Structure 1
Amino acid sequence: MPDTPIHNIAGKKSVGIIGAGFAGMAAGAILAGEGHDVTVFEKNDTIGGRARTFSEKGFTFDMGPSWYWMPDVYERFFERFGRSTADLYQLRQLDPGFAVIFEDNAAIDIPADFEELCLLFEQIETGAAEKLRRFIADGEFKYRVGMDDMVYKPGHSITEFLSLRLFGQALQLQLFSSFSKHARRFFKDQRLLALIEFPVLFLGAMPRDTPALYSLMNYSGLKQGTFYPMGGFGKVADTFQYIARQAGVQFRTSQAVEKLETAGGRVKHIHTAGRSVQIDAVIGSADYRHIEQALLTPGERQYEDSYWQERTFAPSCLLFYLGVDKRIAKLRHHNLFFDQDFGLHSEEIYKDKKWPTAPLFYVCCPSVTDPSVAPEGHENLFVLMPIATGLPDPEPIREHYYQLLMDRLEKFAGETIRDRVVFKRSYCVSDFKNDYNAYQGNAYGLANTLRQTAIFKPKLKSPKVNNLFFAGQLTVPGPGVPPAIISGTIAAHEVLKYLNSQL
């Protein structure tokens, strides 16, 4: 097929975006809103990236994200298009926000009301109420500074963070302090520490290797609250696509990008099966390593495989999507099973890189909140076990852990569940590789260690291909849906600077 220019209006430029996850859709909406022709190329047949959904036997399953934290990030994005979250989908605050299950199946509900949470901490550990207030106040400070001054920076160099104000706040942000040590200055009870540290294990690195800066996540989860978008995260992904389309973005699904053709140090054409598209700038919001290794020539790559092999990745995971033909009384919307050794599981994810001996796991039961995701009288379950990246995941291993996790889930629930499962699907390392070209089957991107924060993450702009930019979980600011939205926003602004410089 001959070249297909996307732009034909003077001053209007063509931008190609690889990947229709949150980062790609956010970037596309902003660029199209500024008058440019934007096309998003997506290898899968549906949009959303890891936030895709599927439906079977009357159940609708979110395939990936399930925690809605940092609601202000979504709101800030929608506001730039003259909309608000309330215009677009119904957001419900969960109460309890989540439950944590410890040894002997003792469950602790985490209340939505912060003062109730302080009382709960005090019941577990004398003096912990006031310590929690101070811990969360510290997290709120980091959150405000992070959101206002740090997280929307592109991470090109250290000079971005050398303003007098930021320099004076550096010690308070605790970029060079351990999250684990920071938490232990406030709390001693192992249950409270597990509650505080769980976002780090599931989305980051070992607590001892994570900067204390990330207590900002505790502020978001415990003070701002845990929310749920009615209809599921697929509804949020659909909303981002809607906003992007309203701005003028074109989506081309089932079109994997096969090559970035360059000349003179710039991408000139994007090649998909049977099509060559003329382009002025590209944002790669798919897997960073895949884009460089598969779509560019060796001389155009910024990072070789040795670089990626040396990175610390956040976990991959083994997932089970289950449809159950009865209700399960003891389950909350979010259920964290910390009934085994937190430290051992962490070591086996990040250090030993092996299938876990006695894993922690997470069960999401959105049908507790949302009747639309399961037939009446049924339950929709999403079971997640964090694991190391790169592990072999044949069916016998998946089934072994299914039985192990269900043993513990049924013990907690006090009732049988397996014999009432009417739909079951697993998803693991090889699926992340096949569906997302994810390096070593990573699920969340790079861990938030000090050496992989801000300017130490893979660069948002290619130094070798002048009009190639990156967004998503392998560049700034990091893993999670709100960071992906922010990443797409940053990338779009950098592309706008570049395009304006070409006029």
Structure 2
Amino acid sequence: MKRAAIIGGGISGLATAALLAREGYEVDLFEARDEVGGRAGSWESQGFRFDTGPSWYLMPEVFEHFYRLLGTSAEEQLDLRLLDPGYAVVYEPTAPGAVGERIEIAADRESNVALFESLDPGAGTALESYLDSAGETYELAKERFLYSTFADLRPVFSREVVRRTGRLVRLLLEPLDRFVRSSFGDERIRRLLGYPAVFLGGSPFTVPSMYHLMSHLDLDDGVLYPQGGMYTIIESLERLAEDAGVRIHRGTPVTKIVTKPIGGGKPSVIGIRYRGRDGVEVVHAAGTVVATNDLHAAETGLLPEKLQSYPQRWWDRRQAGPGAVLVYLGVRGSLPELPHHTLFFVDDWKGNFDSIFGPNASIPDPASIYVCKPSATDPSVAPAGHENVFILVPVPPDPGIGRGGVGGAGSDLVERAADAAIAQVAAWAGIPDLAERVVVRRTLGPGDLEADLGAWMGSALGPAHTLRQSAFFRAKNVSSRLTGLYYAGGSTIPGIGLPMCLISAELVLKRVRGDVSAGPLPEPARA
């Protein structure tokens, strides 16, 4: 029987394991920590349950397709709710002591067009055209780019793609910020349409305008939320993987990818070596190994340099996405000032991104931050009479910023950034006693992401989606030095985010099948 070893129990590891098990492989998954989930983890304290990573449920059709590959559906696995408003945006106050201007993004296109028109006459009509373009680009990306391994470019560059070459070249070469500015004059709108670059690990000044497709996801399709939290996605994939026969080994870090020379040709993987809970290292034989942990950690930490497809010198020429200071708060009393998702935007828009990505990197203050209050939708994530609040502060990708802790016990830089973010939310949203009402507090910093998840440079997301780190320019999902070694996760194709990680699992299945098609696989996958 074909044997596969999966390194890492995040969403891409669980998804890859489930697909390969249905394909007829004997699959063992090795997770270094005691819980699966990776970046999409969960933490509980005093009746509060926090998602420690991703908190946006976008691209629902990608989730649905993946669940159908496994013979089920999103409806069967998750209790999804449409958020309305999808999120709010709060802009920096114009005067000391004032609250920030707030707008709300609705769950439907028509309402958002009306909102834009109210902000700037003519912007509603411009948004219609912008969203038409975003939707068309998104559909083209799904059909020709996102589900391709790029092992053969002929299916990718179909007649339809070639016919649009001129437009695609512009979208690849023109930064998102410039593309947005060509259609909208209002700075509030420009920031709203440019900020999705952060969720791609980049800046609107460097991310290609191809990614204006992101606006189709929230302004056209709306934002969903799975009751119980995003970790319920991980729990569902864990169940489905084990139901398919996957053996999950928790608390067993992989220490080496084991290889063997094959004649005078390319050497092959023959398994992995892992450290058990008793501290003893064991070799597990497998002819197929899929590294779904951070690609930098997998390549530079588990292979000798001569067998690395992506050695350190390759990474030295790449741009990391931002790091993050993450703040988890249990708050006494209600917070009607905050919906489920809120974005806080500073006036010094470019300066904010220069602080994160520029040559003189520092923690922005004030910063454009993201706040999630899932208790607005889900009473199960907080005790009665309390709110669950999560704050993300984008910071430079630098583990030297430090690690977080419980109750203010993190490094000085991390806790100061957390204090500043809490004070900013309190002032801009009009919650003056916010800090006094905090009953649970935990922080994480870039140092935690590096130490706990092996995250390259402490990045919260991985390699940024710049031009040279997108589509077929991104790291491939197969080793160029070893037969039988594959990759999945946010570091490789197609990129960052939970939906992309699900697609990356499907791309591994395509690789082992030798499938070079450009679109999604037929549903369901083999059982």
CA distance in 2, matches of 1:268, 1:81: 27
CA RMSD, 1 decimal: 1.4
Task: Tell me the amino acid that sits aligned with residue 179 of structure 2.
Answer: H
Q: Does 1:269 align with 2:277?
A: no
Aligned 1:255-404 pairs, distance under 5 A: 255-264=252-261, 265-273=267-275, 274-352=281-359, 353-394=361-402, 395-404=411-420
Q: Does 1:95 align with 2:68?
A: no
CA distance in 1, matches of 2:298, 2:201: 23
Higher mean displacement: 421-430 or 410-419: 410-419
Task: Tell me the amino acid that sits aligned with residue 12 of structure 2.
Answer: A
Aligned 1:86-485 pairs, distance under 5 A: 86-104=75-93, 105-156=100-151, 158-159=153-154, 161-173=156-168, 174-264=171-261, 265-273=267-275, 274-352=281-359, 353-394=361-402, 395-411=411-427, 412-485=429-502
Find the residue that maps to 2:492 and give its secondary structure.
coil
CA distance in 1, matches of 2:467, 2:150: 14
- C-alpha distance after superposition, 1:128-147 (max 9, x if no partner): 11110110010000111111
Return 5+ residue gaps in structure 1 as ranges.
1-11, 499-503
How much has 1:72 moved relative to structure 2?
0.5
CA distance in 1, matches of 2:181, 2:219: 18
Higher mean displacement: 57-66 or 355-364: 355-364
How much has 1:429 moved relative to structure 2?
0.6
Would the aligned equivalents of 2:325 and 2:418 in 1 still touch at CA under 8 Å?
no
CA distance in 2, matches of 1:402, 1:162: 47
Higher mean displacement: 430-439 or 391-400: 391-400
Would the aligned equivalents of 2:15 and 2:241 in 1 still touch at CA under 8 Å?
yes
Would the aligned equivalents of 2:30 and 2:248 in 1 still touch at CA under 8 Å?
yes
Choose which of 3, 7, 10 in structure 2 pairs with 1:21.
10
Which of the pair is proportionally richer in helix?
Answer: 1
Task: Tell me the amino acid that sits aligned with residue 323 of structure 2.
Answer: S
Q: 1:357 to 1:391 in 2, by over 3 A?
A: farther
Partner of 2:523: none
CA distance in 1, matches of 2:483, 2:78: 39
Would the aligned equivalents of 1:22 and 1:49 in 2 still touch at CA under 8 Å?
yes
Would the aligned equivalents of 1:194 and 1:338 in 2 still touch at CA under 8 Å?
yes
Task: Tell me the amino acid that sits aligned with residue 86 of structure 2.
Answer: G
How much has 1:82 moved relative to structure 2?
2.4
Q: TM-score, normalised by structure 1?
A: 0.94
Higher mean displacement: 363-372 or 341-350: 341-350
Higher mean displacement: 163-172 or 28-37: 163-172
Would the aligned equivalents of 2:5 and 2:271 in 1 still touch at CA under 8 Å?
no
Partner of 2:63: 74
Higher mean displacement: 403-412 or 220-229: 403-412
How much has 1:161 moved relative to structure 2?
3.0
Find the residue that maps to 1:248 and give its secondary structure.
coil
How much has 1:218 moved relative to structure 2?
0.5
- C-alpha distance after superposition, 1:423-454 (max 9, x if no partner): 11100111001111111111111111111111
Q: 1:420 to 1:357 in 2, by over 3 A?
A: closer
Find the residue that maps to 2:440 and give its secondary structure.
strand
Q: TM-score, normalised by structure 2?
A: 0.90
Q: 1:181 to 1:418 in 2, by over 3 A?
A: same
Return 5+ residue gaps in structure 2 as ranges.
94-99, 262-266, 276-280, 403-410, 516-527
- C-alpha distance after superposition, 1:82-108 (max 9, x if no partner): 211111111001000000000221111
CA distance in 2, matches of 1:44, 1:195: 37
CA distance in 2, matches of 1:103, 1:377: 29
CA distance in 1, matches of 2:509, 2:153: 21
Would the aligned equivalents of 1:331 and 1:413 in 2 still touch at CA under 8 Å?
no
Higher mean displacement: 69-78 or 345-354: 345-354
Would the aligned equivalents of 1:157 and 1:455 in 2 still touch at CA under 8 Å?
no
Task: Tell me the amino acid that sits aligned with residue 37 of structure 2.
Answer: G
Find the residue that maps to 2:318 and give its secondary structure.
coil
How much has 1:355 moved relative to structure 2?
2.0
Higher mean displacement: 203-212 or 369-378: 203-212
Would the aligned equivalents of 1:23 and 1:489 in 2 still touch at CA under 8 Å?
no
CA distance in 2, matches of 1:160, 1:260: 33
- C-alpha distance after superposition, 1:217-274 (max 9, x if no partner): 1101111111111001100111111121121111111110011111021111211113
CA distance in 2, matches of 1:263, 1:391: 35
How much has 1:302 moved relative to structure 2?
1.4
Would the aligned equivalents of 2:337 and 2:430 in 1 still touch at CA under 8 Å?
yes
Task: Tell me the amino acid that sits aligned with residue 443 of structure 1.
Answer: A
Higher mean displacement: 392-401 or 233-242: 392-401
Task: Tell me the amino acid that sits aligned with residue 426 of structure 2.
Answer: E
Would the aligned equivalents of 2:423 and 2:435 in 1 still touch at CA under 8 Å?
no
Would the aligned equivalents of 2:108 and 2:221 in 1 still touch at CA under 8 Å?
no
Find the residue that maps to 1:49 and give its secondary structure.
coil
Partner of 1:3: none
CA distance in 1, matches of 2:339, 2:430: 11
